[in-house]
Structure 1
């Protein structure tokens, strides 16, 4: 900063913990979580609101469906037609995202 004689370190304030999100280390109730890596690792997409979500990965990943009991998520191919489905609660620790273009979480 101007007029300071030594550099200042910027970062989180001491004593303030990061609040985990619904897809950090599992799948919170009411959510569908898609992961770029297997066993809930890598990048994540939180599918919470009823919508169509683009899946950008074409490799083995994983997902957890912890929406309200019986809610069905549809996995859509490039044609927009369903190629797979998941009824809550369920999950898959190793899932090939290659044929999946979008997921509808409701």
Structure 2
């Protein structure tokens, strides 16, 4: 086998190995702030593991939490990748993503919205306390907007798990 053929095969396998390593970390429950070793020196995506917070007070039986009503099913437009994680469990957020967590009472879990493509995302059904992790490129500023389009707050990457009240937030621009 020639050197160029072997090099070509290695180049094609790198993304597969990186994806498998990230999946293995997720399945084995890697601890908070663990970075995937699958990232190569060529700038491959790294997976940072965060821990989802406890369930909202309305779920755990504490007083308050009326903001969730009977059902809170968060959605986003334009659509993006969504994963679900039980309260207190680890969830991955790749570099290049703003991961926003909103409680989905129909699943009794946090919906993790992985905002990767640069866009302004409109929120629906996001209520009460939530969280986000800004794993975008260092210095990238995410903006959180109210109903009138005014900026409520910003987040400069990188930023780990941050608490957020989703009630006043109507949209997010991740970049």
Q: Would the aligned equivalents of 1:31 and 1:67 in 2 still touch at CA under 8 Å?
A: yes
CA displacement at 1:93 relative to structure 2: 4.0
1:1-106 pair list within 5 angstroms:
19=23, 25-37=91-103, 42-56=110-124, 57-106=126-175
Once residues 94 and 122 of structure 2 are traced to their aligned partners in structure 1, the CA distance between those partners, rounded to angstroms, is 20
User: Could you tell me the TM-score, scaled by structure 2's length?
Assistant: 0.44
Q: Detail structure 1 runs of 4+ shifted over 4 Å in the superposition.
A: 19-24
Normalized per residue, the structure richer in helix is 2
Whose relative contact order is higher, 1 or 2, with alpha carbons under 8 Å and at least 6 apart? 1
Which 5+ residue runs of structure 2 have no aligned equivalent?
Answer: 1-19, 27-80, 86-90, 104-108
Once residues 22 and 45 of structure 1 are traced to their aligned partners in structure 2, the CA distance between those partners, rounded to angstroms, is 5
Which 5+ residue runs of structure 1 have no aligned equivalent?
Answer: 1-16
Please give the secondary structure, in 2, of the residue aligned with 1:43.
strand
C-alpha offsets along residues 19-68 of structure 1, whole Å, 9 cap, x if unaligned? 5689671321010011014xxx6012111000011222021010000000
**Partner of 2:44 in structure 1?**
none
User: Could you tell me the TM-score, scaled by structure 1's length?
Assistant: 0.70
The aligned length equals: 86
**Alignment CA distance shift 1:101-1:33 (3 Å):** same
